[in-house]
Amino acid sequence: MRIATWNVNSIKQRLDHAAIWLKERQPDLVCLQEIKCVDEAFPREAFEALGYNVAVHGQKGFNGVAVLSKLPFDEVTTGLPGDEADVQSRFIEVVVSTPKGAVRVCGIYLPNGNPPDTEKYPYKLGWMARLKTLIAQRLTYEEPLVIAGDYNVIPAPEDVHDPALWVGDALFLPKTRAAFRELLNLGLTEAVRATTDEAKLYTFWDYQAGAWQKNNGIRIDHLLLSPQAADRLKGVGIDKHTRTWEKPSDHVPVWADFDLG
């Protein structure tokens, strides 16, 4: 079973890219972030024509997450619990059934948090605390669980082209990285670093200052795995080539293969 994540930075602008990549990579389930449209405007027919079931938690002009799955959804839940005042569409959870049992996948678009001296940074840390609470509960199910998405977290210095340039950024602040480690310390495994220590592995390159051409990237798109998922991990990939396409997303897909089907 292949599970992937991709911040598409507007599904309407990147629909052709998404279709090409889906045909090429053939993920069984993919979490999309920053779709930037309401549920009714999501181009579900295009994905259904490719054999995918569609679940959407959208928001007009901003944020928004979705899941595409070749397997039918047994459950779909939207919205991260813990703050009734939070109206941002950043969390979707699905359950699908495989021949080896249920698989639970959470698609997340974690808040950016910049500028860190505004209310945006406490919102980011609060969101991460709520996610930790939810995942701790989900781990009690002892089932394969994948939390896939744009975390807006640079976990370590080796995940950024020039750490000194990011010292004051919300993606790299000590509290941000500590909160990410707290997630891992629940018993989760980060898929990419479980399979490689390779340097200069990035998933995001800014549109400005020739970042892509200079490979001035950062790694902020992650798949975190429960022990039951990590035990069945077979391989991981970062589809860097999609950043070369015309008018690309500033993020590229990350995927992992599991012995689950």
Closest CA to 260 of 151, 182, 181, 145: 145
Cα–Cα distance, 79 to 7 (Å, whole number): 18
Closest CA to 172 of 116, 126, 90, 225: 116
Closest CA to 14 of 33, 29, 30: 33
User: Are 229 and 144 a contacting pair, CB within 8 Å?
Assistant: yes
Annotated active-site residue 150? The verdict is yes
Closest CA to 45 of 19, 65, 24: 19
Catalytic residue, from 28, 150, 159, 221: name it: 150
Helix (H, G, I), strand (E, B), or coil: what is residue 108? strand
User: Are 191 and 256 a contacting pair, CB within 8 Å?
Assistant: yes
Catalytic residue, from 28, 52, 109, 257: name it: 109
Task: Give catalytic residues, as residue numbers.
Answer: 109, 150
